[in-house]
Structure 1
Amino acid sequence: MNLTKIIWGISSVLCLVSCDLDKVPLATLSPETYFSNEEELRLYSNKFYEDIVPSASSIFSDRADAIISTPLNTEISGQRTVPATGGGWSWSALRRINYLLENSHQADDIAVRNEYDALAKFFRAYFYFEKMKRFGDVPWFNEVLGSDDERLFKPRDSRTLIADSIMQDLDFAIAYLPTTKDVYRVNKWTALALKSRVGLFEGTFRKYHGIGDAEKYLQACVTASEELIDNGGYTLYTSGSAPYRDLFATSDARGQEIILARHYSAGLNLTHNVQNTSNSSTVGRPGLSRSFVNTYLTNGGLRFTDLPNYNTREFVQEMQNRDPRLAQTIRTPGYTRIGGGAAAPNLSFALTGYHLIKYSMEPQYDAYNSSFNDMPLFRIAETYLNFAEAKAELGTLNQADLNKSINLLRTRVSMPALNLEQANANPDAYLLDAETGFPNVAQKNTVHTGVILEIRRERGIELVMEGHRYYDIMRWRAGKLFEKPFLGMYFSRLGDFDLDGNGSIDLCLYQGTRPGSSASLFMEVGKDIVLSEGNKGHVLAHGNINRTFDEDKDYLYPIPTEEINLSNKILEQNPGW
């Protein structure tokens, strides 16, 4: 069994068992007798993968405005409160990282030591990036602290210090990590992918939140992205008739495109519940929102929202002639299950009616916690998107840049290329509207408004269900989208509906007495399902929740009150909390 494929779920017995910065490591793990060779450094550092990278369930915790399920995240519902403890303010993983960095000098081989220091710094950068996204300013710790060290209660360091320290760690990682590709282990290309991600996030966050110095981070994103694109040797997976679907509907990550994945294995009992979540009436019923589905272009490259009566088209009609990624992300007319038969969208499984299929394999994996397909953490497609967006925000994007990034994604699914001049000459009104999009793009950009909107469209579609959307909304300062109605499919009437266009009745909507019908699913309007206009309209999700998003505080999370009290109020709470 390849060790690199089991590190995600099995903790090495040599790892520290500690809970926070001031815990003392086990006496059995002595730096004087350990960290002396590559095998010991490798075994110890395996725990970093388990500690830092997200699990498969994270794709459904990142619901934002694109994936609607029940219950709503408190971030989306506007019901967050300041926690007493927890709340993401945990430092145990950082302590383990710093412990390796302090003791790796026990290894005599300098090349080995540099490699594992680089790995540790990659994970420290990853750790702090997540903390910075969540809290903004946080204390920077680059060494192990004892329980009586007064620096345990130091004030938070500035966002700039944190961001720059992350970049310095990543530069070290890029310099010393191996170039050998391994989809389950961090290498130089993973570090470049993370630097690309960090640079885009921080640059756009600063730009749209008015912090300043955005250009430095956007340029760092461009530089890292170009090095990875030009020299990494990763390409898009293009095999078969549905390559986008098949990239995710497979047990083992496709290393042609995926730079790093979290491994799952039925044989090792390392499984997840993603497919069951999409095909069950009891695990949140996630589905795409109508506003997000509206962003998929026609297969000829036209805006769906420019078509007559686009918002009142019923399901079969609205699904006709769309970007092929739509039919490879949700059930659409003509959908056939892998290893199974034809299947219509099931509104008892999808709150909005738009039934997710991304990551879904054969029907037997619908069972609880039986999925074992690997979860992509970094893939070259994201780097293409990062590169194009950063250059557009800098005002330096040209057509050649689009051709080596966005248009490769479109070519994979036989979509027309994005044309820079045309996009900027006619920005999409739907994506600029405050009800459905990002009006501040026009306020912040004079040159590339139209193409930035198109890149955001592409990013949403390409990366849906990959854990990016919530923090994209945060960095774009677009949190007010969470206040808008969460809508689903449109129904012009009550009665029978053939949702897959095969001539059989899939759904019966009714009020009062259940009618006689051959439908496979009956839903009582007002009880099982709510329509926006009573007996017709869009499926309305969470219409009973008065959602609010406070622009003055909700872009950051609050610090737990006990942490502030333990520091004798040296730690300051985030604004508004």
Structure 2
Amino acid sequence: MKKLSYLILGSALLFTSCEKLLDRPDLNVMVDSEATYWRNENDLRLYANDFYPNYFVGYNSAWGTAYAPVIGYNFSDDLTSENQQLALLGSVPTNLGSTATATSTLRPEHPGPNWNFYWVRKANIMIDRIETFAKPKLTDDEYKHWSAVGRFFRGFEYSRLVSNFGDVPYYDAPVSPDDFETQYKPRTNRGEVMDKVYDDFKYVMENMRENDGVGYVHRYAAAALISNMMLFEGSWQHYHNLDKTRAKKYLELARDAAQYVMDSGNYTFDSDFKSLFASESLSSNKEVIFYRTYDDALAIRHSVGSYSNGTENQARSANLNLIEAFICNDGQTFQSSTVENAKNFRLQELIKTRDPRFEATFMDTVNAPAIGTLVYAYKFASREALTYLNSGKPYPPKWGSNTNTNDAPVARLAEVVLNWIEAKQILAENYGGAAVSQGDLDKSINAIRTRPLDAEAEAKGVKQTAPLMLGALPNDPLKDADVSPLMWEIRRERRMEFVFEYARIQDIRRWKKLTYLNFEKESYKLGPWVIGLKDFGDKNNPGKILAAFKDRLKVKTADGKIITYDGTNDADMVGFYVVRNFTNRLPVENKHYLAPMSINLMQEYADRGYTLTQTPGW
């Protein structure tokens, strides 16, 4: 595995004037001429360093939120807020996004870059300069590896742009600043763009080094991320009924890229789930393929841990719909499980009856900073962090403010095996691929379920989940009618694994299930089962609920009645927590799958005499 410390050196060409006789070039700064800069792979490495914080964001840095869990990825059907649910974009905006080069994201329903081709240009410059200047000075291995690095980042950026906008103009070479004809070229068909991306990724899989030193991208990390991006596009092409030939091709690459990582034998599920996200160091974690290092001494810190420490607000929190999706530890749904108390939705019981990832993700008591449903996610903070909650002791810097130093996994084995098994199942169901076998499940979903448990989880009564058996798949009454039982379980596994991470909003977009965000089911409006006197009791006034909850606390009883706390009915406040002032968002429409062009952006094209077409539906 490789770490990513992000001691990034400058990557723009710095044109300096060295007029003094004794001036010598700084070894950490690019030299003053392109012809003399592209001399060796150290120059190429220096140039490529700028890509790392843009693509391997981890937990971001300081108060940064883009592409960071909890603070950046907190919008999906898993999560509910008080009051009106966050709306999807309703109309064509005047100005959407910016041309900044920072790791900004577009909108929560389209978690990716703005309409901005800075990073495409940067990758194209690298690829072009390798051919133009560096190739004669490099060994064959160096040439292939660095060409693969440039093509990997170009493919990465185009994958993100296409996921947001669909058709985008494709550039495979740097564009001159005065070449407006090329700069303002029409949008290229999505499939044609992704064919180019496919070619780039195939080259990467054949030519990138398997090891390029600590902290630098290598073939296994690239393959893990390629499996993500090709699964997204392949399943998008399939479920959105675009080009089935392309869907098959992309899904096969997703499967093969994942298989490459799995077959290496370098990675295994050797640590508990909590350790993946709350460890000060991931250097010895064999599940982690690539990660970002945070280090207080180097002033490399983040704030994700503080937003998981029990005190900071989580405006959107886990709803009953997500809770119901978690499998019981006997491998059955809560409706058919034989585990004692499987139908008890008290958080204290859920951690004992559900898959261990539930306990490692959520606190076992209701917590008001989880403003929507009171189910607080502490997935990205250690168990130690919660010992400071209500203790009167100040939180240490590593779990407070923007000074957190727990490492962030960028690519991990669970993503790889879940990409692999889903790609195989789509291919089997629709494209003549080999049927998924029990052995395939054992190498993927069941391998995840054998993660070891830490001592604290075991002390709470947490148990490993029974394996998924092909001959005895759960019979889930909540399953979508158009999804096979096995595919439903594959999707369930992703949902449990990636809460508050990148995946859920992207998954429901590519499956063409964005309508889940309509929140028509009652389970989206509810939280866990609460007992008013235990969960909201006034310690100074036994037998009474805290006065602050008068006219605010509501529960839905087992027989479906909604009861509001009026200050006198304390003993009656037992049932599913009702989200306060819940109001649904406007309905999801087909246009919401892709982002629109803003009025100002289209006008910019028109002012130059060119036409930028609007995204379909907008």
Other structure's SS at 1:451 match:
helix
Distance verdict in 2 for CA 1:314–1:80, change over 3 Å: farther
Contact map agreement 1:122 1:173 (CA 8 A) in 2: yes
Amino acid at match of 1:571: L
Other structure's SS at 1:539 match:
strand
How far apart are the structure 1 equivalents of 2:204 and 2:411? 16
**2:360 maps to what in 1?**
328
Other structure's SS at 1:454 match:
helix
How far apart are the structure 1 equivalents of 2:546 and 2:128? 61
Distance verdict in 2 for CA 1:400–1:480, change over 3 Å: same
**1:418 maps to what in 2?**
468
Other structure's SS at 1:259 match:
strand
Q: Which range is displaced more, 414-423 or 465-474?
A: 414-423
| 1:194 is aligned to 2:225 | yes
* CA drift at 1:307: 5.7
Contact map agreement 1:392 1:452 (CA 8 A) in 2: yes
Distance verdict in 2 for CA 1:544–1:463, change over 3 Å: closer
| 1:250 is aligned to 2:254 | no
**2:497 maps to what in 1?**
462
1:406-462 alpha-carbon deviations (Å, 9 max, x no partner): 110112253211111322xx6422132xxxxxx432xxxxxxx11100011111112
Aligned counterpart in structure 2 of residue 100 of structure 1, from 126, 148, 153? 126
**1:368 maps to what in 2?**
401
Contact map agreement 1:526 1:534 (CA 8 A) in 2: no
Contact map agreement 1:270 1:372 (CA 8 A) in 2: yes
**2:42 maps to what in 1?**
39
How far apart are the structure 2 equivalents of 1:246 and 1:519? 39
How far apart are the structure 1 equivalents of 2:322 and 2:487? 17
* CA drift at 1:146: 1.7
**2:69 maps to what in 1?**
59
Other structure's SS at 1:220 match:
helix
**2:576 maps to what in 1?**
538
Q: TM-score, normalised by structure 2?
A: 0.77
* CA drift at 1:77: 4.7
* CA drift at 1:260: 1.6
* CA drift at 1:516: 2.1
| 1:563 is aligned to 2:592 | no
Return structure 1 stretches of 4+ with deviation > 6 angstroms: 70-73, 308-312, 518-522
* CA drift at 1:549: 3.8
Distance verdict in 2 for CA 1:54–1:263, change over 3 Å: same
Distance verdict in 2 for CA 1:183–1:167, change over 3 Å: farther
How far apart are the structure 2 equivalents of 1:394 and 1:206? 13
How far apart are the structure 1 equivalents of 2:361 and 2:286? 21
Other structure's SS at 2:168 match:
coil
| 1:358 is aligned to 2:383 | no
Amino acid at match of 1:574: T
Alignment of 1:394-473 (within 5 A): 394-395=427-428, 396-412=435-451, 414-423=464-473, 427-432=475-480, 439-441=481-483, 449-473=484-508
* CA drift at 1:330: 1.0
* CA drift at 1:188: 0.8
How far apart are the structure 2 equivalents of 1:329 and 1:167? 35
Aligned counterpart in structure 1 of residue 187 of structure 2, from 116, 132, 156? 156
How far apart are the structure 2 equivalents of 1:215 and 1:523? 57
Other structure's SS at 1:294 match:
helix
How far apart are the structure 1 equivalents of 2:174 and 2:83? 39
How far apart are the structure 2 equivalents of 1:129 and 1:232? 28
Q: TM-score, normalised by structure 1?
A: 0.82
**2:25 maps to what in 1?**
none
Aligned counterpart in structure 2 of residue 274 of structure 1, from 304, 328, 335? 304
* CA drift at 1:50: 1.6
Alignment of 1:80-119 (within 5 A): 81-86=92-97, 87=106, 88-105=114-131, 106-107=133-134, 108-110=137-139, 111-119=141-149
Alignment of 1:135-174 (within 5 A): 135-149=165-179, 150-174=181-205
| 1:516 is aligned to 2:551 | no
How far apart are the structure 2 equivalents of 1:71 and 1:152? 44
* CA drift at 1:288: 1.9
Other structure's SS at 2:220 match:
helix
**1:502 maps to what in 2?**
none
Distance verdict in 2 for CA 1:282–1:408, change over 3 Å: closer
Amino acid at match of 2:185: K
**1:294 maps to what in 2?**
324
Contact map agreement 2:313 2:371 (CA 8 A) in 1: no
Aligned counterpart in structure 1 of residue 518 of structure 2, from 483, 486, 489? 483
Which ranges in structure 2 are unaligned for 5 or more consecutive residues? 16-28, 60-64, 98-105, 107-113, 386-395, 429-434, 453-463, 557-561, 565-572
Aligned counterpart in structure 1 of residue 613 of structure 2, from 569, 572, 575? 572
How far apart are the structure 1 equivalents of 2:511 and 2:424? 15
Give me the CA root mean square deviation: 3.1
Count of matched residue positions in the alignment of Structure 1 and Structure 2: 521
* CA drift at 1:542: 7.0
Aligned counterpart in structure 2 of residue 233 of structure 1, from 258, 266, 270? 266
How far apart are the structure 2 equivalents of 1:72 and 1:247? 34
| 1:380 is aligned to 2:413 | yes
* CA drift at 1:525: 5.0
**2:348 maps to what in 1?**
316
Amino acid at match of 1:561: I
Q: Which range is displaced more, 55-64 or 462-471?
A: 55-64
How far apart are the structure 2 equivalents of 1:234 and 1:421? 28
Q: Which range is displaced more, 455-464 or 313-322?
A: 313-322
Distance verdict in 2 for CA 1:295–1:182, change over 3 Å: farther
Distance verdict in 2 for CA 1:359–1:278, change over 3 Å: closer
Amino acid at match of 2:355: D
Amino acid at match of 1:222: R
Which ranges in structure 1 are unaligned for 5 or more consecutive residues? 19-25, 333-343, 433-438, 442-448, 498-505
* Bigger-Rg structure (1/2): 2
**2:257 maps to what in 1?**
224
How far apart are the structure 2 equivalents of 1:235 and 1:313? 33
Distance verdict in 2 for CA 1:246–1:282, change over 3 Å: closer
| 1:12 is aligned to 2:49 | no
